[in-house]
Amino acid sequence: SRSSYKWQRVLLKVSGEALAGDQTQNIDPKITMAIAREVAAVTRLGIEVAIVVGGGNIFRGSSWAGSSGLDRSSADYIGMLATVMNAIFLQATMESIGIPTRVQTAFRMSEVAEPYIRRRAVRHLEKGRVVIFAAGTGNPFFTTDTAAALRCAEINAEVVLKATNVDGVYDEDPRRNSNARLLDTLTYQEVTSKELSVMDMTAITLCQENNIPVVVFNLNKPGNISRAIKGEKVGTLIGG
Ligand code: UDP
């Protein structure tokens, strides 16, 4: 049964930074609860929601590589494990308010979560369960934004909704220039040529090659997550 909304199946990307909020702890439970409530509301409307979580609130490989002899791959595996912590936290929060949720990891941790199996993920979504993809792509040197683009393409989701701490993409850095303008729409070309820090090149290129639109929006505004999922206008739309 198709929902009457713009998207039938979405890939929501939640960065680690967004989960941390302004807490001194790594995760702000008010934020995970807000995400859970808004996702609950849209799954009741029949929209299928898959989530990719980041891990930057706990560990970011690139900023640790090199220190104390830590090679990049080891650092990145620690980063991927950080995303699993966030995924389990978010799953527990979702289930505490009655949303059936499955975590699938890109590398096996079968006591903790299911392994990533594409067909199984799709089946969960069709049954109205939320699927959280953890451990990124499973490969060092990649990001969870790339994992979001990749999983989106794999499960035939229609859009990547990138939840951040800013209202969208600006023409200049809003922290440095108070005249910076929030952009309504952008092409992939503009993102890559102007080097706008929306997503890393691998992620944005993967979206472009597969015609996956990306919406960048602020998750701290109440109602924004469900608005974005329902296809209402929020933040910046990147496409064509
Ligand atoms: N990571 C990785 N491969 C992936 C995804 C993530 O190696 O496919 C590692 C990388 O070290 C990264 C960390 O996991 O810094 C956390 O992910 P990311 O920085 O993308 O999280 P976010 O910025 O969304 O919080």
Per-residue pLDDT tens, the chain, 240 aa: give them.
567 899 999 999 999 999 998 877 899 999 999 999 999 999 999 999 999 999 999 999 999 998 889 999 999 999 999 999 999 999 999 999 999 999 999 999 999 999 999 999 999 999 999 999 999 999 999 999 999 999 999 999 999 999 999 999 998 888 888 899 999 999 999 998 887 788 999 999 999 999 999 999 999 999 999 999 999 999 999 998
Cα angle, residue 50 at apex, residues 215 and 72 outer, rounded to 5°: 80
Cα of 228 vs its chain's centroid, Å: 13
Tell me, what's the pLDDT at 195? 75
CB 200 within 8 A of CB 146: yes
For the Cβ of 83 lying below 6 angstroms from any atom of ligand 1, the answer is yes
* Beta strand extents in the chain (DSSP E only): 9-14, 48-53, 101-105, 114-115, 130-134, 159-164, 185-187, 214-218, 236-239
For the Cβ of 139 lying below 6 angstroms from any atom of ligand 1, the answer is yes
178 CB contacts (<8 Å, ≥6 apart)?
none
For the Cβ of 16 lying below 6 angstroms from any atom of ligand 1, the answer is yes
For ligand 1, the distance from its centroid to the CA atom of residue 143, given in whole angstroms, is: 4
Q: Please report, as a single letter, which amino acid is at residue 120.
A: R
Q: Which atom of ligand 1 is nearest to the CA of 80?
A: 14
For the Cβ of 60 lying below 6 angstroms from any atom of ligand 1, the answer is yes
For the Cβ of 142 lying below 6 angstroms from any atom of ligand 1, the answer is yes
Tell me, what's the pLDDT at 184? 96
For ligand 1, the distance from its centroid to the CA atom of residue 13, given in whole angstroms, is: 12
For the Cβ of 162 lying below 6 angstroms from any atom of ligand 1, the answer is no
For the Cβ of 87 lying below 6 angstroms from any atom of ligand 1, the answer is no
- Which residue's CA is minimally distant from atom 16 of ligand 1? 55
Tell me, what's the pLDDT at 2? 67
| Mutation test residue for ligand 1: of 17, 76, 151, the one with most atoms within 8 Å of CB | 76
- Which residue's CA is minimally distant from atom 15 of ligand 1? 60
**Structural domains in the chain plus CATH codes:** 9-239 (3.40.1160.10)
Q: Please report, as a single letter, which amino acid is at residue 83.
A: T
Q: What is the ipTM of this complex?
A: 0.98
